[in-house]
Structure 1
């Protein structure tokens, strides 16, 4: 596509953005210079800078400046969420061809979670560019997980409206998907609610129910205490700055508790089996082995047979020797008589 064609496309998308977001008054003076720094940081130069301005406008700021709620980033966030989902799904589908649909869904759920998106926003430094009311800013809104995650999605939506999907996809890959391996390995990003859901399904139990037990602290620093209940029984309790964090911690406590019980049960069963084997071994060791009688020969049948054959051969040899002896004596006696008869005949002649 030629440069003229590309510029025409960008102007067309920008006009679409104005129709989508309504007529907006662009940022002025100092704010423009501030947003230019952000553009350099993210590597995107907006044709319509008012889109980026709206993407970073929190509803608290719209309220105190007498603007409507639609002038905040909520609609931009809605659009950016869909663009983000498509980009991440496309990437996972192409890069992890060996993974099942279920595995890809889990990976996507983690990557587009508020916890991950807020961490990416902190790395970019989006918090310092978000427009907040003075009260919201004083209450720590620039570092609040929900505001940072929404702002990231708003910026994605703004890039899409200003320059199209290709630029938005490039932004997502550069700042989110480039760190996918570290994100997937980080235990802090583990979805314990999903793991607990899989566990109860494997046991054919009812779905976990999360119940808020207590809310403590002022409005801007609330802490929630949540129980996770399965079959009417509390499996774990968690605390957090938001209900979602408290639910995650409750699910984690439930899993650790169940895994601890399983490990203890296996250890007990293993010890019992080991003791049983040891006892049986000791019983076998105590049984005395029979000793051979002292007055009975312990020669085998084969040995006894060989002894009998040898005795027979010896006896036959002795008999043959006796026979030979007898034969020799008879022969000598015959020769003696013949000599005596010859001597007698000689004397008579």
Structure 2
């Protein structure tokens, strides 16, 4: 492990408030697949992301079930979806400043990888899995509840926005009609895991970029980025 990355691990441990027994778990959680493609011995975080998604959902489900005993199942399902959505995970990644510390290829970095919503959100799930494997489920569950407490409270107050395209349109058209365009720039990857990249423009200039595993997801990502730039979102 390179010296600089060891310092990155320490910084992330400080940001999330945990010291890992097995540092290699955190190392893997912070390694994007693009880096592993150029470094054959490096493990990347996609398997951890898969596990972290399950730990996050179960931890959140149990907390909501026990804390809000009078809320029916359907409503709890909707609230949980708000808590565990990509936007919420991205907000956590910003709090932890993960964009500074993820290992990725130079190519990925040059194309905006350090600020890409999907990469940062996936990294949060990978870190949750690393915590689970290093500390056990009881610790990981308490960790998730503490980290997501503010997001859970916002979800219960219906303050989390999922349709960013509609929100952006509402914000921009307060003073009149605005021509908003989402343009597909490119797509890459195999048919079963294709990633789409879009460019968002309005007022005759480019305002934001977004990516996702569907065109709709990529457009939502671009709209979210634009709303952040307009200082509309407070996350």
TM-score of the two chains, using structure 1 as the length reference: 0.49
Q: What are the Cα deviations for residues 265-319 of structure 1, in whole angstroms up to 9, with x where unaligned? A: xxxxxxxxxxxxxxxxxxxxxxxxxxxxxxxxxxxxxxxxxxxxxxxxxxxxxxx
Is structure 2 residue 14 aligned with structure 1 residue 40? yes
**Which residue in 2 is equivalent to 1:181?**
153
Say which of 38, 47, 51 aligns to 1:75: 47
Give, in angstroms, the shift of residue 246 of structure 1.
6.0
Is structure 2 residue 204 aligned with structure 1 residue 222? no
| Residue ranges of structure 1 left out of the alignment (5+ in a row) | 1-26, 193-213, 226-239, 250-349
Does structure 1 conserve the Cα–Cα contact (< 8 Å) formed by 2:53 and 2:125? yes
Q: Residues 1-349 of structure 1: matches in 2 within 5 Å?
A: 27-67=1-41, 71-184=43-156, 185-189=158-162, 216-217=184-185, 222-223=197-198, 241-242=210-211, 243-245=215-217
Cα 1:130/1:246, change in 2 over 3 Å: closer
Cα 1:119/1:65, change in 2 over 3 Å: same
Does structure 2 conserve the Cα–Cα contact (< 8 Å) formed by 1:183 and 1:189? no
Q: What are the Cα deviations for residues 127-166 of structure 1, in whole angstroms up to 9, with x where unaligned? A: 1111110010111111111101110000000011111112
Cα 1:215/1:248, change in 2 over 3 Å: closer
Greater helix percent: which structure? 1
Give, in angstroms, the shift of residue 176 of structure 1.
1.3
Give, in angstroms, the shift of residue 99 of structure 1.
1.0
Cα 1:246/1:50, change in 2 over 3 Å: closer
Q: What are the Cα deviations for residues 13-60 of structure 1, in whole angstroms up to 9, with x where unaligned? A: xxxxxxxxxxxxxx3433222211211221111001010000111000
| Residue ranges of structure 2 left out of the alignment (5+ in a row) | 166-181, 189-195, 201-208, 222-235
Give, in angstroms, the shift of residue 108 of structure 1.
1.1
Which sits farther off after the overlay, 31-40 or 125-134? 31-40
TM-score of the two chains, using structure 2 as the length reference: 0.71
Does structure 2 conserve the Cα–Cα contact (< 8 Å) formed by 1:76 and 1:157? yes
Alignment size in residue pairs = 188
Structure number with greater CO (CA < 8 Å, separation at least 6) is 2
Cα 1:133/1:159, change in 2 over 3 Å: same
The structure having more radius of gyration, on CA atoms, is: 1
Q: What are the Cα deviations for residues 53-75 of structure 1, in whole angstroms up to 9, with x where unaligned? A: 0011100000011247xx21011
RMSD, aligned α-carbons:
2.9
